[in-house]
Amino acid sequence: MKVNKNIALKIMLSLTLVIGLASCSKKSKTDSASRGTGWNVNSSKGGFRNASSHKEQETGPGLVFIEGGTFTKGLIQDDVMHDWNNIPNQQHVMSFYMDETEVTNLMYLEYLEWLKKVYPPTEENYKNIYEGASPDTLVWRNRLGYNETMTNNYLRHPAYANYPVVGVNWVQAVEFSKWRTDRVNEAVLEKNGYLKKNAKSLDVSAENNFSTETYIAAPTLTYGGNEEILLKGKGSSKKGPKPGKDGKVVEEKNVYAQRSTGIILPEYRLPTESEWEYAAAADVGQREYNIYKGQKKYPWSGSYTRSGKRSNKGFQLANFKQGNGDYGGIAGWSDDGADITNEVKKYPANDFGLYDMAGNVAEWVADVYRPIVDVETNDFNYFRGNVYTKNKIGKDGKLDIITSNNVVYDTLSNGKLVAKSLPGEIAQVPVDENETYLRQNFSTSDNINFRDGDKQSTKYYKFGGSDAEKSKMSDKEVMYNAPKHNVKIDSLGNMDRKYDKSSKRTTLINDAVRVYKGGSWRDRAYWLDPAQRRFFPQDMATDYIGFRCAMSRVGSKSKAKKSPRN
């Protein structure tokens, strides 16, 4: 019997396909050939592993994506105050994320309650941690005003839960940001199976808790190395490693999440001044092709503070002081709906989707204040305030982890103690010659005074003199001769506050004053311009300065796919 040639050909092709599929099924689904070596990446038999399926950075809780770009930093309106501290200059900012709203009382109370639970103030080793993080509620008091209602209620009463937190100094805002980083990444790792469920609330203690940097550098040192909490991730065997042909058990590698895993988020932090100003101006809303149609005076379009839209025509677009004694308008027809601060999201968002970038409260940013922006040195991600540190290695060659016995506190000029390093975190030390030798981009750990405040910056610097002459400059010869308040604590815990009464001081600017941006409920409309900049001591707080967090963007500049315009 003659077999049809077509049928025979079809049978042969089917058999070839089945054999091919069978051979493919033996190969790991994650195997792929490296373009560098030809080896299989993510092979089930070991070797280099890569989170090839991870594409984009996840947006952290509370954040909004801000696509970076070029903008004019500085005041483009008339400088009626003649400050001359924000001359227009062109800068470029990388893409980043920023809090949709200011940090609220409710968000900050979550932080305080966590500290109270993990580091009970009743215990001697932790008594200053909770107190050091608590906002200064006395900022509401006024010598000739009755504000005790806010002093007693503003932070904790549920009526103010979604109002921006105030009374927080710059140092406290930075510590809140560090805490938020750890809590967010703790939840991320739990969600992805690297931490036991609910350990973050049920198993946490002062000596057994989570720090993002500790987990990355030495995972087994977090949660005290408790293997019931520290789970091995999706790439590991649930039953543990199997013995090889020689009977030896080879321990699994890369079973904990790392930066290369792609799920750990960068740190929450205060935005830089450039980032804040760029995000507040939101010039993207009036862009035409690759140019801006003029600069904005406010975070919204137009030169007026009232809305021109038909639905809410005449309404104020921000919460600010409109005149002497006018903080909210006439009863029954309030101009801006508030007399002090207002609940977040009460006013329209700007073109980036950010609320209250003008009015409500002014906001701390990361920068140390200087009257000039040194655009000649840098016009990319501009920031003054870099102090580079590295993980401290103990005498035993291991990471030095903070314990309850060596918590590091920062003593503020008013005597308040703020914890700078908590148990479970890695102790930090300044970078040294190992990192700076023969570098062109930086040469010291502390770069705050670079080109504006270091000895070479003053007119008294003796360029041709000896090193001894250069180092013996008097107070009146340094560039920023600011008051030097001092606090000393003796071995018994007694505090000696020394207020600088010198009449020879010439400025309030020093390395401990920070920039704050945006107008507040106490400010006139002039200060609503995103380019305006002022400064305040980093260890002092007010009833009109709050803050919001930012996060760097890793990966692509843009989320959306670009399309040509017709």
What type of residue sits at position 328? Answer: G
Instruction: Report which secondary-structure segment, H or E, holds 10.
Output: helix 5-25
In the prediction, which pLDDT does 21 show?
53
CB 169 within 8 A of CB 412: yes
Query: Could you tell me the residue ranges of all domains in the chain?
Result: 60-237+259-385+522-552, 449-510
Length of the chain in terms of residues written: 566
CATH of domain 60-237+259-385+522-552: 3.90.1580.10
What are the tokens at 384?
């003054």
In the prediction, which pLDDT does 333 show?
78
- CA 42 – CA 489 distance, rounded (Å): 56
Give per-residue pLDDT as tens, 523-547. 999 999 999 999 999 999 999 999 9
HSE value, Cβ hemisphere, 13 Å, CA-based, for 327? 11
CB 392 within 8 A of CB 426: yes
In the prediction, which pLDDT does 454 show?
85
- The 3-state DSSP class for residue 76 equals coil
- Would you place residue 247 in the very low, low, confident or very high pLDDT band (cuts 50, 70, 90)? low
What are the tokens at 116?
């109270």
Beta pairing partners, 70:
92
**pLDDT-wise least confident of 101-115, 229-243, 381-395:** 229-243
| pLDDT score of 100 more than 90 | yes
Q: Residue written as tokens 């340094």?
A: 478
Give per-residue pLDDT as tens, 381-423. 999 999 999 999 998 999 999 998 889 898 898 888 999 999 9
> In the sheet that 63-66 helps form, which strands lie side by side, from edge to edge?
63-66, 96-99, 550-552
**pLDDT-wise least confident of 104-113, 284-293, 512-521:** 284-293
Other C-beta atoms within 10 Å of 223: how many?
27
What are the tokens at 308?
């021109």
Give per-residue pLDDT as tens, 35-84. 888 888 777 666 676 766 667 899 999 999 999 999 999 988 777 888 88
Q: What is the mean pLDDT of residues 216-224?
A: 92
| pLDDT score of 203 more than 80 | yes
What type of residue sits at position 457? Answer: S
The single-letter DSSP state of residue 208 is S
Q: Which of 96, 181, 101 is nearest to 559 (CA)?
A: 96
Other C-beta atoms within 10 Å of 7: how many?
9
In the prediction, which pLDDT does 168 show?
98
HSE value, Cβ hemisphere, 13 Å, CA-based, for 392? 12
Q: Give me the chain's average pLDDT, please.
A: 87
CB 33 within 8 A of CB 527: no
Q: Which of 369, 368, 422, 366 is nearest to 552 (CA)?
A: 366
Cα 305 from chain centroid (whole Å): 30
- Would you place residue 252 in the very low, low, confident or very high pLDDT band (cuts 50, 70, 90)? low
- CA 142 – CA 140 distance, rounded (Å): 7
- CA 88 – CA 532 distance, rounded (Å): 11
- Would you place residue 494 in the very low, low, confident or very high pLDDT band (cuts 50, 70, 90)? confident
Return the exposure string of 59-73: e unless at least 16 CB atoms fall within 10 Å of the residue's CB, then b: ebebbbbbbbbebbb
| pLDDT score of 288 more than 70 | no
What are the angstrom distances between the C-alpha of 454 and each of 84, 154, 347, 513?
21, 42, 43, 16
What are the tokens at 206?
């002062």
